[in-house]
Structure 1
């Protein structure tokens, strides 16, 4: 935990992003919890939500306002940026300063015409830059998918400042479709361009009005005609989305749904590592360890929707010895008020107090994303 305190004390964007990454991906429950608490404290100090705080500390990785960085071998120069797939893109620059030739994923080998010492230092610099860009892209791609799943909404001002014009995020979000909602309720689907503008599928520029909000459009909220139009648009611009969006699998409630527990759960068993990895990648968190350090539940908080989800597992996972736990069976998946999962859940006692909600009352996006995750779990179950 001292390491987290040291990171927080540096105050750099890279350090804040490192804490964000630990909070979202650490394999160790205690470390992950401490990282989340650290993020919450830092956000509270600035009067922000954790999401808003994380927006403000995304590193620029040394890229300029255009999202590029120029490196050189002496006589030759190269422009490095981030591709929409989250991977670095390298272009050689001509004498006029414009990109030439095909894009590359790494710097070319130096030649006899290059300055050997400069080229060697530049290669080292690029290695560090590539790792930094890859790390930033990985963490931010996870955040973007989480924003779509949870229904997060940005004010137009915040989105422009921290997404549209951010050197790294601008590249990642160009292939994504956003729902722009004006103060009067008028809605349009738009995307972000390299020129830091919003455009419609017909390529008409859009300037959000005062009081407008922006959110990533979930495929359940886009009709098929619009999906087809956007697929064509993105293909024309050779844009590859870092987040599964337009072609994302969607699910409804099972036909046999009846009662507070979600019907149609996978019936096999899954290894503890595969279970944890699959759930946590989708934003779920392990519950608090109970007697003998056993974890009995996973939880998913969906603040925008005002609800949480609790997944009960059979034998339980041993905290600190996850991979020594046996294969698990899914016992129940229940919808609960958000407050029930915000403070951490260890074990459920529905017979004492039953907070479970009716699955038919929740936004279909919640149902779809929960069942999509369960399908991913099923795909990794043991034969």
Structure 2
């Protein structure tokens, strides 16, 4: 019995020795390969994550593609190849070998209030660069003019809050009046942003304005000058190794907080009969479809006549937003829109279409 047990132990030891000599190294090799694979995957994941976290200027240094959002009122894309944004894209590609993906959030209107409403209710991706273009106002809007600085401040704050690490550059289009330019400058400086004033760039050039302007619009040379100015800002920031970490400060202007929660509460509809909407807030605005066959509507706020709005336009179909009141008591209200007995002799019809109701 003892002899059999001894033989069994010897055989067991021989098998163990064989495993150690021949199988052990192979097992260690496999284990090492698995460990290296795990480390490689971890490093790759870390590298991908850090790449996604890169800011605009780090991406340009590494010739990575960048995402740009152009926001603006009355931004026209009739001939995109000739506009300053397209020339700017080419400069980025030529200098840094980076591809650019550009999205647009624009309106045909000249109202910053409409742009704020559209942006506040849009579902957008993250961007490396946001160009906030401000065009000149083309028509009188007393409420809009009085509240421009308040609305623009909230537009800046909303964009900054949603994009804390994004480069944000307001671009003041040619023709914006000096009062609004001053307001934009004060706000961008207060919030630590840079801006491009195209009119100032043109007036500071050695050539006369006529070389860059045709019928109050930028010509090819004007678009190139605007593109060059914007590109130089980017180059300067590259040299400074700029990093963005926007901090939203206290409001600069008293009363601006009223515009901090703009929202669309209804998509409207045809005004063939009175339409009423209940809302709670301090601000009320309406967007109408304009056209050559559109008529006039009467507006009532809390049962009292407020104003009439003529939705006729000889410039073809478009939309227009009216900021009706921005100083309401923060309580329940009702806005009513109904067909008016007034007519426009130039209108080819009497269509009346409410596009949206905007409040805070």
**Global fold match (TM > 0.5):** no
Name the larger-Rg structure: 2
Q: TM (normalized to structure 2)?
A: 0.26
**Structure whose residues are more often strand by fraction:** 2
Q: TM (normalized to structure 1)?
A: 0.25
Quick one: higher RCO (CA 8 Å, sep 6+), 1 or 2?
A: 2
